[in-house]
Amino acid sequence: MKSTLPVENAGDTDVCLFIEPYGEDFWLKPGDAFKVVPVSDDNVQFSVVVAKHVFTVWLYQDGDPYNALLDYEVTGINGERLACGHQRPADSDGIRTSGA
């Protein structure tokens, strides 16, 4: 079975899913659910860091956080592939951290 990381926004404001090391952003509106899916499944592990209005996901292989996995996709809950910037707020200059 392929590893996936389901991500859901159970809050009442937009939240940014930030994928490293590329710095790609995918925005979840309240009630949205996405999946982070590695294209390969060679012992993939996930590391998640949470801050106000953003959580950052690193994918890495073989238990080594310095061995970043670069081949992944982010999908909607039904499997549709999402592009970087998905639902990015028009007034955003990157990640909002002020809560405004």
Please tell me the distance from the alpha carbon of residue 65 to that of residue 18, in angstroms, as a whole number: 17
Q: Give the phi and the psi of residue 50 in degrees, each rounded to 5.
A: -110, 135
pLDDT average per 10 residues of sequence, the chain (100 residues):
87 94 93 91 84 90 76 91 94 52
**Dmax over Cα atoms in the chain, in whole Å?**
40
- Residue appearing with tokens 């996930």: 46
Pairing of strands 15-20, 54-61: parallel
User: Which pLDDT score is estimated for 57?
Assistant: 93
Does this model's pTM top 0.85?
no
Q: Is 94 left (phi over 0), alpha (psi -120 to 50) or beta?
A: left
